[in-house]
Amino acid sequence: MSTNDTIKYIESQPDYEGKQDFTITVYAEDRVGLLNRISIIFSKRKINIDSLNTSPSEIAGIHRFTILINESYEVVRKLARQIEKQVEVLKVYFNTDSEIIWQELALYKVSTEEITEKVTVERLLRQYGATAVVIRKDYTVFSVTGHKEETDALVKALEPYELIEFVRSARVAIIKDSAGFHEKLKEFEAEEPGEERVENEFLDKGDKIFTM
Amino acid sequence: METLQDTATKKATTNSPTFKGSGSQMLLNALIEEGVSTIFGYPGGAIMPIYDALYDYADKLEHILVRHEQGGIHAAQGYARTSGKVGVAFATSGPGATNLVTGLADAQIDSTPLVCITGQVFAHLLGTDAFQETDVINITTPVTKWNYQITDAKEIPEVLAKAFYIAKSGRPGPVLIDITKNAQLQIEEFEAYVKCNHIRSYRPKPKVRVEFIEQAAKLINEAKKPFVLFGQGVILGNAEKEFKAFIEKTGIPAAWTIMGEGAVPTDHPLNVGMLGMHGNYGPNVLTNECDVLIAIGMRFDDRVTGRLDKYAKQAKVVHLDIDPAEIDKNVKAEVGVWGDCKETLPILTNLVKENKHEAWVAQFRDYNQQEIDQVITPELYPTGEEMTMGEVLRNINEICGGDAVIVTDVGQHQMVACRYAKFNNTRSNVTSGGLGTMGFGLPAAIGAKYGAPDKTVIAIIGDGGFQMTPQELGTIMQFGAAVKILILNNRFLGMVRQWQQLFHDKRYSFVNITSPDFVALAKAYYIEADKVDERANLRKALETMINHEGSYLLEVMVGRENNVFPMVPQGMSVSEIRLK
Q: How would you class A199 by CB atoms within 10 Å of its CB: exposed for 0-12, middle for 13-18, buried for 19 or more?
A: middle
Q: Is A103 helix (H, G, I), strand (E, B) or coil?
A: strand
Q: How far is CA A3 from the centre of its chain?
A: 21
Summarised one tens digit per residue, pLDDT across range B344-354 is: 999 999 999 99
For position A15, what pLDDT does the model report? 61
Q: Using the beta-carbon criterion (under 8 Å), do A36 and B141 form an inter-chain contact?
A: yes
Q: Using the beta-carbon criterion (under 8 Å), do B201 and A206 form an inter-chain contact?
A: no
Closest chain A residue by Cα to residue B136: A33
Q: Are B50 and B119 in contact (CB under 8 A)?
A: yes
Could you give the ipTM of this predicted complex? Answer: 0.90
More reliable by pLDDT, A9 or B244:
B244
DSSP string, A28-78: EE--TTHHHHHHHHHHTTT---SEEEEEE-SSTTEEEEEEEEEEEHHHHHH
Measured from the Cβ of residue B531, the count of other Cβ atoms closer than 10 Å reads: 18
The question of whether B468 is a catalytic residue gets the answer: no
CA distance linking residue A87 with residue B169, whole number of Å? 11
Name the pTM for this structure.
0.92
Summarised one tens digit per residue, pLDDT across range A87-126 is: 999 999 999 999 999 999 999 999 988 888 877 878 888 8
Q: How confident is the model at residue B205 (pLDDT cuts 50, 70, 90)?
A: confident
Length of chain A equals 212
Share of chain B above pLDDT 70, in %: 97
Whether A60 contacts chain B with CB within 8 A: yes
For position A192, what pLDDT does the model report? 58
The question of whether B131 is a catalytic residue gets the answer: yes
CA distance linking residue A193 with residue A203, whole number of Å? 16
Closest chain A residue by Cα to residue B8: A189
CA nearest A129: which of A148, A143, A115, A109? A143
Length of chain B equals 580
CA distance linking residue B411 with residue B436, whole number of Å? 8
Whether B507 contacts chain A with CB within 8 A: no
Closest chain B residue by Cα to residue A201: B324
Cα A84 to Cα A29, A194, B201, B526, B536, distances in angstroms: 12, 17, 9, 51, 58
